[in-house]
Chains A and B, each alone.
Chain A
Amino acid sequence: MRIEVRNLVKAFGSVRALDELTLVPEREVSVLALIGPSGGGKSTLLRVLGGLEIPDAGSAEIDGSPLPIEPLALLAHRRRNGFLFQAYNLFPHMTVLENVALPLREVHRMNAVKAQARAEEVLAGFGMVDHQAKNPGQLSGGQQQRVALARAIAHKPDLLLLDEPTSALDPELKAEILELVRALATTGQRIILTTHEMGFARHVADHVAFLAAGQVVEHGPPTSMFESPKTPALQRFFAKLNSFRV
């Protein structure tokens, strides 16, 4: 996909989460990773691109179509995409199956039989079919995140947006979720994610952007970003990450 973000501004009170942010990769991107310090604007940019937040100023285009602003078009935009949160955010009062099947029925107008079949199919793909009658509260964090991922991709979204999908998980569970995301990427699923997993950003993303203080400080293909960071800010960021390397 072609991404063109120009002079994007989003303020919360007096804090400018996005401060005239511009990101225009010169090539087509399939998996874009947003990295950088917490509070640097990664999540806000992701939420704007996902249609969950309306920017105060600036423009964002994906494949030439500008991000909508009017509520109905924004709703349609959200319905085309899939979104995964750090804290899973499953609906606790519904079963696992219903978490996936309900949006298929109510948002994507599938009939009940088709919706259930599709929900079971994606849950089975993530090894969660045995748990489909449970409520989310009965599952571990890693299992909940798999269900949330199933919910985010069940309707075959144009674009999958992942907001720190593994930050709340134990290390070995992180690896499981990242493996699922990598598998999705290899099927051609277009993904934008924020992450603190540098190994994942390096090996799965085909474009990486480093955000700090609401701006893109540096961006490029992962090899050049990770092997020869140009800006002092990115060099310092990597140096800090590596200070406790095993």
Chain B
Amino acid sequence: MEQKRWNTGGELLVATALILAVAACSAVVFLQLNYQWNWGVMTKYWRVFLMGLGLTVLISLGALVVSLVVGVTLAAAQLSGSVVLRWSARAYVELVRGTPLLVQLLIGYFVVAQALGLDNEFFIGVVLLSVFAGAYLAEILRGGVASVSASQIEAARAVGFDRAQIFRFVTAPQALRRVLPAMTGQFVSLVKDSSLLSVIGIQEFTYQAQVANAATFNSLEGFIPLALGYLILTLPMGGVAAWMERRLRYED
């Protein structure tokens, strides 16, 4: 399919107008604040920001892998023939999705991690985020598998595929294409949600921005690079997802 391009002056005009409008709103907000910006002292803290960003990247990557393992396991359990496995996975998913991440982090850190004597912040961060994101991934994956039509499964049986072959050649590839956008969204959320780890004292990006603000007696300067830093991480993920979707595209 031909991709839609920016080819008319009208679209360009609308885009320009939108950018101007956002800029105007920002100007009004900052003027209202009547805030004395002080960037000079902040620039000395770039190393702190970078360290925080580094830990955020590491925790996000670790949680991406582990949450995928958790999600696949839970989805498989929910699709399995065993009632015990199905119900256990169901209970896990409902429990995690029914409580706020912040509450899970507080309980996970101050109750569970303390009780087990854990103090590695990378490890704790990865596990807590994976427990959370894994439940959502499980739902996405389960829905993807369930969305493969009965007639496709029937055709696969008719050509003589056994259960494993049906999954490998028909169910999995068709489900994968359908869950890709939702999974990317989930991974983007994972990166952003990692900012909540600052609340339990894990020294990731958001935590370090607050440190820099406090140390320089600034209250706001640190938040601008913080927002930009998260955008730098999340925007390419959307690009990668779009590229994968194009590669996996076929007409139904």
By a beta-carbon cutoff of 8 Å, the part of chain A in contact with chain B is 50, 52, 75, 78-79, 83, 85, 87, 89-93, 102-103, 106-108, 135-138, 151
Flag whether B165 is at the interface (Cβ < 8 A): yes
**Known A85-B151, A106-B165: A92·B250 in contact at CB below 8 Å:** yes
Q: What are 23 A-to-B residue pairs whose CB atoms are below 8 Å?
A: A52-B157, A78-B157, A79-B160, A83-B158, A85-B154, A85-B155, A87-B151, A89-B151, A91-B155, A92-B174, A92-B250, A92-B252, A93-B177, A93-B248, A93-B250, A103-B160, A108-B160, A135-B250, A135-B251, A137-B250, A137-B251, A137-B252, A138-B251
Contacts of B169 in A (CB 8 A): 91, 102, 106
Flag whether B161 is at the interface (Cβ < 8 A): yes
Flag whether B219 is at the interface (Cβ < 8 A): no
Whether the Cβ atoms of B152 and A89 lie closer than 8 Å is yes
Whether the Cβ atoms of A85 and B251 lie closer than 8 Å is no
Whether the Cβ atoms of B251 and A92 lie closer than 8 Å is yes
In B143-178, the 8 Å CB interface with A consists of 151-152, 154-162, 165, 169-170, 173-174, 177
- How many contacts between A and B, using CB within 8 angstroms? 57
Whether the Cβ atoms of A103 and B159 lie closer than 8 Å is yes
A140 to B179, CA, bound (A): 28
Q: In the complex, given contacts A103-B160, A137-B251, what are 8 additional A-B residue pairs having Cβ atoms less than 8 angstroms apart? A: A75-B160, A93-B177, A93-B250, A106-B161, A107-B159, A108-B160, A137-B250, A138-B251
Whether the Cβ atoms of B154 and A93 lie closer than 8 Å is no
Min CB distance B147 to A, Å, is 13
Contacts of A102 in B (CB 8 A): 169
Whether the Cβ atoms of B158 and A50 lie closer than 8 Å is yes
Whether the Cβ atoms of A151 and B162 lie closer than 8 Å is no
A87 to B162, CA, bound (A): 22
Contacts of A89 in B (CB 8 A): 151-152, 154-155, 158
Contacts of B158 in A (CB 8 A): 50, 52, 78, 83, 85, 89
A50 to B158, CA, bound (A): 8
Most interface-central of B155, B156, B174 (chain A CB within 10 A): B155
Min CB distance A147 to B, Å, is 12
Min CB distance A5 to B, Å, is 20
Contacts of A85 in B (CB 8 A): 151, 154-155, 158
A83 to B161, CA, bound (A): 13
Whether the Cβ atoms of A103 and B152 lie closer than 8 Å is no
Q: Closest residue of chain A to B165, judged by CB?
A: A106
Contacts of B165 in A (CB 8 A): 106-107
3 smallest A-B Cβ distances: which pairs?
A137-B251, A89-B155, A79-B160
Whether the Cβ atoms of A91 and B160 lie closer than 8 Å is no
Whether the Cβ atoms of A52 and B251 lie closer than 8 Å is no
Min CB distance A153 to B, Å, is 12
Contacts of B151 in A (CB 8 A): 85, 87, 89
In B116-166, the 8 Å CB interface with A consists of 151-152, 154-162, 165
Contacts of B250 in A (CB 8 A): 92-93, 135, 137
